[in-house]
Amino acid sequence: MNNPTIQAMLINGYTAKAFTHNYIFGFPYHGVIYMAYGTANDLPYITKLDRSSENQGYSLRFKPDMAQRQYLLPNAEPLCSVEYLESLFATSKYNRGDLFEKLVAEKFGQKWHKDNPDFTKAPDVVANGIPYQVKFYKATFTNEKTLASL
């Protein structure tokens, strides 16, 4: 799905309300889970427009294709293997995004707990004094209904 106008509207609406414009993006690449540092300026290059479920309009998602992953790689570092993340997932009640966030928090010496803070009020993790929103492969940033309710 490609509609640059709607995608730009969702990006602008999201960033206007976001607590932080710093991100840690997680994605698999050649058997490795990478964490890439980015900002709101990267969103037009790494997000996709999708249809939300349950009549919520369009959604803005982080589901990078190979070209988008290669865009992120210069600011990325390996976090773990895909195999390791999948082994955690197989024995956990949490989804892969939660587990990625947990691994990121632990990398920075923080104790992680599942809390889902509102993106307008708090970051997911603070690393080296910088607040970050953490997004893993296939994550949704927002949708039209959510933005309309803010």
pLDDT of 2 higher than 80: no
From edge to edge, which strands make up the β-sheet containing 130-136?
A: 76-81, 32-39, 22-29, 130-136, 125-127
pLDDT of 52 higher than 80: no
DSSP string covering 82-100, please?
Answer: HHHHHHHHHT-SS-HHHHH
> Worst-scoring range by mean pLDDT, 39-48, 70-79, 112-121?
112-121
CA distance 98 to 1: 27
Residue 23 — pLDDT band, cuts 50, 70, 90?
Answer: very high
pLDDT of 55 higher than 80: no
CA distance 65 to 62: 10
Domain ranges (residues) in the chain: 4-145
pLDDT at position 54 is 74
pLDDT at position 97 is 96
55-71 average pLDDT score: 94
pLDDT more than 90, % of the chain: 85
40-69 average pLDDT score: 92
34: β partners: 27, 78
Instruction: Tell me the whole-structure pTM to 2 decimals.
Output: 0.93
